[in-house]
């Protein structure tokens, strides 16, 4: 049986590996570990098709150590323990630790992850996990503390074009044909930074024509909609459309994409988490209740399970899509982070500092601080930002009834010095 192009083109060495130069380029962290033959446990976090599994295979092959794999979708605690026992028996004096690669580690239950702890901690295996989900949410803290997390990015245009050229020149089948590439926009657009998706599309298109154009690629994909969406690779496209429909205040489109994700077997927790993010980022202070409802939906999914969990997800989706929108809090924290990055650790005003020791008290820590509750209206004017940042504005009220009230209150309290007046130092 003929292997798919993506499998035929799977890199065997770092020199053939395309993308992720921040991790495997000259002097980068993972390349250094491989060159020094001292690989510590780590988790690779990134979207599908960016080389997580391939990188794990290359590491094991380069180090010439036993390599064991588990899929979190099909493996249980018993499988984990059996693999660990096999890893113990495969250790030889003078060789590195066996590598245990766990694909989709975010789908491992707490008990499955617990069963890994001892082996990782004792150095029985070097764990390499792969996940498309934020490990901070999906991996238990004790295991996460024993692993570094490395973020893999979608491949950029140059990476994808290099991959395409490599396939046309080196693949045992394609190199025998004279494939002419006239246009690449559609190929790159539908690939979406996913190497496997690009190779799937390239293989599909070259089955139909020796000339690659945008029209040929689009026609082939319309005729074979699943050919480039194998194993749920539409995952990111659907969640993107879902969130953008909520942001765009279109409840019908949002519900449609919710149904697409449910029908496609998407993890309910993944959807619920995105609703919480959307409530904070896109609705924010225009309707603070949105975050409460999104959180309640997240909890309800855990309590109800499936398929009943679809109902609170639908309720939250409609509520968020029909809510007024504001990203003022999102913009404020981003602006503040940029300022902190530029300005460094500015000294906190002395009167705002804590004075847990006598020496600190003598140095003026906390002196002249005014306790707001001692004043009328529970407010008193005083300086809060560091001297260098005084007058800087990060939060800008946006045009909605809720924030109009907040802005009015700030102006009433602070007068011309109100943060909402836009008097900031850039």
pLDDT band at 109 (very low <50, low <70, confident <90, very high): confident
pLDDT at 406 over 60: yes
pLDDT in the model for residue 421: 46
pLDDT band at 416 (very low <50, low <70, confident <90, very high): low
Distance (Å, rounded) from C-alpha 249 to C-alpha 251?
6
pLDDT at 177 over 60: yes
Say what percent of the chain tops pLDDT 90: 23
pLDDT in the model for residue 379: 84
Q: Distance of CA 362 to CAs 148, 347, 355, 383, 386, Å?
A: 43, 18, 9, 21, 21
Q: What tens digit of pLDDT does each residue of 248-293 get?
A: 888 898 999 898 888 777 778 889 999 999 999 999 888 899 999 9
pLDDT in the model for residue 220: 83
User: Across 158-162, 173-177, 302-306, 327-331, which has the greatest mean pLDDT?
Assistant: 158-162
Query: What average pLDDT score do residues 66-73 get?
Result: 82
pLDDT at 419 over 60: no
Higher-pLDDT residue of 380, 130:
130
pLDDT at 1 over 90: no
Q: How many CA atoms lie within 13 A of 320 on its CB side?
A: 37
pLDDT in the model for residue 221: 78
Query: What average pLDDT score do residues 366-391 get?
Result: 82
pLDDT band at 60 (very low <50, low <70, confident <90, very high): confident
Distance (Å, rounded) from C-alpha 261 to C-alpha 255?
10
Q: What tens digit of pLDDT does each residue of 6-45 get?
A: 889 999 888 889 999 999 988 899 999 988 888 899 999 9
pLDDT band at 380 (very low <50, low <70, confident <90, very high): confident
CATH class of 234-322: mainly alpha
pLDDT at 228 over 50: no
Q: What tens digit of pLDDT does each residue of 185-216 get?
A: 988 888 878 888 899 899 989 988 889 998 88
pLDDT at 150 over 60: yes
Q: In whole numbers, what is the pLDDT of the chain averaged over residues?
A: 84
pLDDT at 231 over 50: no
Torsion of CA 196, 200, 203, 209, to 10 degrees: -130
Q: Which homologous superfamily does the CATH classification assign to the domain defined by 20-151? A: P-loop containing nucleotide triphosphate hydrolases (3.40.50.300)
pLDDT at 424 over 60: no
pLDDT in the model for residue 117: 87
pLDDT at 57 over 80: yes
Give the CATH fold of the 157-230 domain: Helicase, Ruva Protein; domain 3 (1.10.8)
Query: What average pLDDT score do residues 72-80 get?
Result: 78
Q: What tens digit of pLDDT does each residue of 330-372 get?
A: 888 888 888 888 887 888 788 777 777 777 677 777 788 888 8
Q: Where are the domains of the chain?
A: 20-151, 157-230, 234-322, 348-421
pLDDT at 425 over 80: no
pLDDT band at 417 (very low <50, low <70, confident <90, very high): low
Say what percent of the chain tops pLDDT 70: 92
Joined tokens for residue 21: 């130069």
Query: What average pLDDT score do residues 288-316 get?
Result: 89
pLDDT in the model for residue 63: 87
């Amino acid at each position: 049986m003929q292997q798919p192009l993506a499998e035929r083109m799977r890199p065997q060495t770092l020199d053939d590996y395309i993308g992720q130069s921040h991790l495997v380029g000259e002097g980068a962290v993972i390349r250094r570990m491989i060159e020094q033959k001292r690989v510590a446990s780590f988790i690779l976090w990134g979207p599908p098709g960016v080389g997580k599994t391939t990188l794990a295979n290359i590491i094991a092959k380069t180090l010439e150590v036993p390599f064991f794999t588990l899929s979190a979708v099909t493996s249980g605690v018993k499988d984990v323990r059996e693999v660990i026992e096999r890893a113990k028996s495969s250790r030889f004096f003078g060789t590195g630790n066996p590598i245990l690669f766990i694909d989709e580690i975010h789908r491992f239950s707490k008990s499955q992850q617990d069963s890994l702890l001892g082996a990782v901690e004792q150095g029985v295996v070097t764990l390499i996990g792969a996940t498309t989900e934020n490990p901070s949410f999906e991996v238990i803290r004790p295991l996460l503390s024993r692993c570094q997390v490395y973020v893999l990015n979608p491949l950029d245009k140059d990476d994808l074009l290099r991959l395409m050229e490599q396939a046309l020149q080196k693949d045992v089948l394609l190199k025998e044909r004279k494939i002419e590439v006239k246009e690449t926009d559609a190929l790159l657009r539908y690939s979406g930074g996913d190497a496997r998706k690009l190779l799937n599309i390239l293989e599909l298109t070259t089955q139909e024509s020796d000339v690659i154009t945008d029209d040929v690629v689009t026609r082939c994909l319309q005729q074979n909609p699943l050919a480039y969406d194998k194993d749920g690779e539409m995952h990111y496209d659907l969640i993107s459309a879902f969130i953008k429909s909520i942001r765009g205040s279109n409840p019908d489109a949002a519900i449609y994409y919710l149904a697409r994700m449910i029908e496609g077997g998407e993890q309910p927790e993944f959807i619920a988490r995105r609703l919480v993010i959307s409530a904070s980022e896109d609705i924010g202070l225009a309707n603070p209740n949105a975050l409460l409802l999104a959180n309640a939906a997240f909890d309800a999914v855990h309590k109800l399970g499936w398929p009943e969990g679809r109902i609170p997800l639908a309720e939250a989706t409609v509520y968020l899509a029909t809510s007024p929108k504001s990203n003022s809090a999102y913009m404020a924290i981003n602006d503040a982070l940029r300022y902190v990055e530029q300005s460094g650790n500015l000294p906190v005003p002395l009167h705002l500092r804590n004075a847990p020791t006598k020496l600190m008290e003598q140095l003026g820590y906390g002196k002249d601080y005014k306790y707001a509750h001692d004043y009328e209206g529970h407010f008193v004017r005083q300086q809060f930002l560091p001297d260098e940042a005084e007058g800087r504005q990060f939060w800008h009220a946006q045009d909605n009834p809720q924030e109009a009230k907040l802005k009015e209150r700030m102006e009433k309290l602070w007068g011309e010095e109100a943060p909402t007046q836009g008097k900031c130092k850039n």
